[in-house]
Amino acid sequence: MIKFVCDSTADLPAELIEQYDIKVVPTHLIWGEEDLLDRITIQPEEFYRRAAVDPIHPTSATPTVAEFKAAYDSAISSGATEIVCLPIGSKLSSTVKIAQLAANDYNLPVHVIDTLGTTMLTGWQVLAGARCVEQGGAIGDVLNWIEETRK
């Protein structure tokens, strides 16, 4: 069974995350002394409200290898025999490298795909793969659908 992992920058709606059982690794939002987890300890509405009034501007940090491993382990617990991971693009972040480092510790195939983007550019690729699986696609089909969506 193919399962999907992405990071929170994919901006997927909660309903689709649940529908397709997508594992989402939160990006760290550093706000002054606070290390907030995107969509866990801070929601988008609060982020934008706070950004409009707070004189301190937030920065971001990549998820850790351990956080990706936790997502991979969760996917495996949900029946994954193969994982497709689609983090924020490599030109925007080192998250692809972190996801790959985590993937190296697994015996089952973990395909880390450079989405070349963020937000719904990544989100659409995740959904294309998940919908392909829903329609009975094998891993080759899934990877092709993702690539065609990215183009």
pTM of whole model > 0.75?
yes
Q: Are residues 133 and 146 both part of a single domain?
A: yes
Q: What distance in Å separates the CA atoms of residue 126 and residue 117, rounded to the nearest whole number?
A: 12
Q: Could you tell me the strand order of the sheet in which 2-7 lies?
A: 23-25, 2-7, 82-86, 110-112
Residue 56 and residue 20 share a domain: no
Shared-domain flag, residues 79 and 137: yes
Percent of the chain, pLDDT > 70?
100
- Do 105 and 133 belong together in one domain? yes
Asked if 78 and 139 sit in the same domain, the reply is yes
Q: Are residues 34 and 84 in the same domain?
A: no
CA atoms of 145 and 35, how far apart (whole Å) = 35
Say what the pLDDT of residue 47 is. Answer: 93
As a whole number of angstroms, the distance between CA 58 and CA 25 comes to: 19
Cβ–Cβ < 8 Å for 72, 87: no
SS3 101: helix
Stretch 82-99: mean pLDDT: 96
Is the same domain home to 91 and 112?
Answer: yes
Give the pLDDT band (50/70/90) at residue 50: very high
68 and 122 together in one domain: yes
Residues 19 and 50 in one domain: no
CA 132 to chain CA centroid, Å, is 18
Give the pLDDT band of residue 21 (cuts 50, 70, 90): very high
Q: What is the CATH number of the domain that holds 84?
A: 3.40.50.10170
Q: What is the pLDDT of residues 109-133, one digit of tens each?
A: 999 999 999 899 999 999 999 999 9
Identify the sign of the CA torsion 134, 136, 142, 148: negative
In this structure, the answer to whether residues 131 and 87 fall within a common structural domain is: yes
Q: Is the same domain home to 94 and 111?
A: yes
Q: Which domain holds residue 129?
A: 2-25+64-150
Count of domains observed in the chain = 2
